[in-house]
Amino acid sequence: MKTKGTIFTMIVALIEKVYSFLWGDLIHIPLPGGGSVGISLLIILLIPTGIYFTVRTRLLPIRMFPDMIKALTGKKENKDSLSTFQTLIVSTATRVGMGNLVGVVAAISVGGAGAVFWMWITAIIGSSTAFVEATLAQLHKEPDPLYSGYRGGPAYYIHHYFEDKSGKKKKHVIIAVLFAISGLICWCGISQVISNSVTSSFENAFGVPPIYTTIILVAVAAVIVLRKNATVKVLDIVVPIMAVCYFAITIFIIIKNIGMMPSVFSRIFEEAFGIRQVAAGGFGAVLMNGVKRGLFSNEAGSGSAPCAAAAAECDTPVKAGLTQALGVFIDTIVICSCTAMIMLTAPENIVAGKEGMDLLQSAMRYHLGDFGVIFIAVTLFLFSFSTFLGILFYARSNVAYLFGDNWISQTMYKVLALVMLFVGGIAAYTFVWDLGDVGIGLMTIFNTGILYLMGGQAIKELRVFEESNKAQSNRQCMAFSVCDRSKRWRYFCTVLPYISGMHGTSGAYDGACCRPSQQKKCCDELQGS
């Protein structure tokens, strides 16, 4: 017994050391006015990666935002596969959780309003990383014989990379195996955090003992996840409802406090650049808390979302990438900003001295009375519950990579996750939470490393996609019109076929004044001539 206790203590100590290495401040950068910025290994990995791919994609998050929206309209032909919109729902379900509520509250509490600005900046560069990893997942996806449709993710494109390099077929690749194991460990840890957060919020809001909330939570989750394809169907309903409701409530609060909004945004930008904070030595807190919240909320670079992106059926891999890039915007620019606005429009005396969920519930009570407290508790339940369903969707492909195509291994992992969900609702085990953070940290290391090696494939696909769009645009007739002295419109039409070495055809047509439909007639006649 003594030996077992010693071994357990050693394992816990090891987990804590690895956690500290991954998430602790690896280096400190001194700042003017005193103080310093502590930077963790994960930030050292994710920020340069985001900047690198933002440059490589030529500011994709900004210039291709309309294409992100268009990518959602893609239709699927196979009823068993998922559309790009459905994969966005799955990834959003997983991204949106505790971090969007309590995490944002913590970031603002420690880093001030300026943390919100750096959260936005991090979302922009994170979108580029999300695009690359999701596009790679599409390029290297495989048919899924168990659930139908497709599967994939970092474990698969890492595997294919080393297969191609060696020129030999491999059953497993060690880095891909380590990624898959890290993911499964991470998602088990998250299961505990989810249930503990939900039971705590319901106890605070309704006085419900944790055991009752836990039993109901686990029972409902089991009914869904132990059925073959019920997860996506439930998420298709739950995620849009919860996101729209949270956004709608936030808009109501903003309208109610519309007179405060100029000062709120002024505060965000003033504190973002540390005009006062630098002098006080607090700029590091502003910057790092905003960056950390942005990074860890949107999950770009961790390798989680590609597991959903691979399942999409779309005519080009780029559309899956654009969809997941949009997911980062939804998570951070929309949902996290909603929480920030709720916080920043509440009076200082209402939220002073409070932290975490108590702080958020106090702010909501100020805005909406007792309904606000109930709303936050229900929202946290939905956010957390959808996260649990989402991570089990992610787990599918990784379990299959490690153990092959069989229902036994799939069911065993689901049961393990349900057990962790139950245990987390009863008690908080810090070392298990740390183990979850270690898992996502290791995932990020393996994934970002391979992105630098394989990212060129995604960039190449992006160029092909843009050239294809350009070709389509050039095939369309370009019509220009001017009104001459006779009050008739003269249409000058140019047809520019996307064929190298061919010149366009041009001509003119006299049409009825102020009839735009004549432009199309002009072009049709010109193309036929």
Please state the rounded mean pLDDT for residues 483-492.
40
Cβ atoms within 10 Å of 472's Cβ, excluding its own:
10
Q: What amino acid occupies position 297? A: S
Model pLDDT for residues 169-196, shown as the tens digit of each residue = 888 899 999 999 999 988 888 888 788 7
Is 149 within the bounds of a domain?
yes
Query: How many CA atoms does the CB half-sphere of 411 hold within 13 Å?
Result: 7
- The yes-or-no verdict on residue 433 having pLDDT over 80 is no
Under the banding of pLDDT at 50, 70 and 90, the label for residue 86 is confident
Is 131 within the bounds of a domain?
yes
Is 307 within the bounds of a domain?
yes
Contact 496, 478 (CB under 8 A): yes
Under the banding of pLDDT at 50, 70 and 90, the label for residue 3 is low
Do 225 and 351 belong to one domain? Answer: yes
Is 469 within the bounds of a domain?
no
Is 258 within the bounds of a domain?
yes
Do 484 and 459 belong to one domain? Answer: no
Nearest to 131 by CA among 332, 301, 295: 301
- The yes-or-no verdict on residue 165 having pLDDT over 70 is yes
Q: Where do we find the tokens 């077929």?
A: 169
State the DSSP code for 208.
-
Is 470 within the bounds of a domain?
no
Do 496 and 441 belong to one domain? Answer: no
Do 412 and 523 belong to one domain? Answer: no
pLDDT the model gives residue 11:
75
What are the two backbone dihedrals, phi and then psi, of residue 39, each rounded to the nearest 5 degrees? -120, 125
Model pLDDT for residues 222-270, shown as the tens digit of each residue = 988 888 778 888 888 888 888 888 888 888 988 988 888 888 888 888 7
Do 82 and 152 belong to one domain? Answer: yes
Is 377 within the bounds of a domain?
yes
- The yes-or-no verdict on residue 1 having pLDDT over 70 is no
Write out the DSSP string of 472-507: HHHHSPEEEEEE-TTS-EEEEEEE--S-TTPPPEEE
- The yes-or-no verdict on residue 33 having pLDDT over 70 is no
Nearest to 329 by CA among 58, 45, 91: 91
Lowest average pLDDT, out of 61-65, 233-237, 440-444, 517-521, goes to: 517-521
Do 279 and 223 belong to one domain? Answer: yes
- The yes-or-no verdict on residue 501 having pLDDT over 50 is no
Under the banding of pLDDT at 50, 70 and 90, the label for residue 500 is very low
The pLDDT > 70 percentage for the chain reads 76
pLDDT the model gives residue 508:
42
Is 304 within the bounds of a domain?
yes
Element (H, E) at 151: strand 150-151
CATH number (domain holding residue 7) = 1.20.1740.10
- The yes-or-no verdict on residue 104 having pLDDT over 80 is no
pLDDT the model gives residue 132:
95
Do 369 and 513 belong to one domain? Answer: no
Do 456 and 496 belong to one domain? Answer: no
Among 439, 464, 489, the domain-final residue is 464
- Comparing 33 with 322, which gets the higher pLDDT? 322
- The yes-or-no verdict on residue 523 having pLDDT over 90 is no
The total number of structural domains that make up the chain:
2
Please state the rounded mean pLDDT for residues 470-489.
47
- Is the alpha carbon torsion for 362, 368, 371, 377 positive or negative? negative
- The yes-or-no verdict on residue 334 having pLDDT over 70 is yes
> For residue 504, what are the domain limits?
477-528
Do 388 and 484 belong to one domain? Answer: no
pLDDT the model gives residue 112:
73
Rounded Cα distance between 356 and 367, Å, is: 17
Q: Where do we find the tokens 């020129």?
A: 167
Under the banding of pLDDT at 50, 70 and 90, the label for residue 53 is very high
Model pLDDT for residues 339-387, shown as the tens digit of each residue = 888 888 888 777 666 666 677 778 888 888 888 888 888 888 888 888 8
Question: If you compute the radius of gyration of the chain from its CA atoms, what whole number of angstroms results?
Answer: 26
Please state the rounded mean pLDDT for residues 415-430.
80
Rounded Cα distance between 490 and 476, Å, is: 19
Do 309 and 446 belong to one domain? Answer: yes
pLDDT the model gives residue 291:
58
Model pLDDT for residues 272-299, shown as the tens digit of each residue = 776 554 444 444 555 555 555 555 666 7
Under the banding of pLDDT at 50, 70 and 90, the label for residue 492 is very low
Nearest to 85 by CA among 386, 315, 309: 309
Under the banding of pLDDT at 50, 70 and 90, the label for residue 133 is very high
Under the banding of pLDDT at 50, 70 and 90, the label for residue 505 is very low
Average pLDDT of the chain to the nearest whole number: 78
Lowest average pLDDT, out of 56-70, 109-123, 434-448, goes to: 109-123
Do 343 and 456 belong to one domain? Answer: yes
Do 446 and 496 belong to one domain? Answer: no
Cβ atoms within 10 Å of 398's Cβ, excluding its own:
27
pLDDT the model gives residue 480:
40
Among 413, 434, 464, the domain-final residue is 464
Among 417, 436, 464, the domain-final residue is 464
Under the banding of pLDDT at 50, 70 and 90, the label for residue 162 is very high
Contact 287, 118 (CB under 8 A): yes
Under the banding of pLDDT at 50, 70 and 90, the label for residue 139 is very high
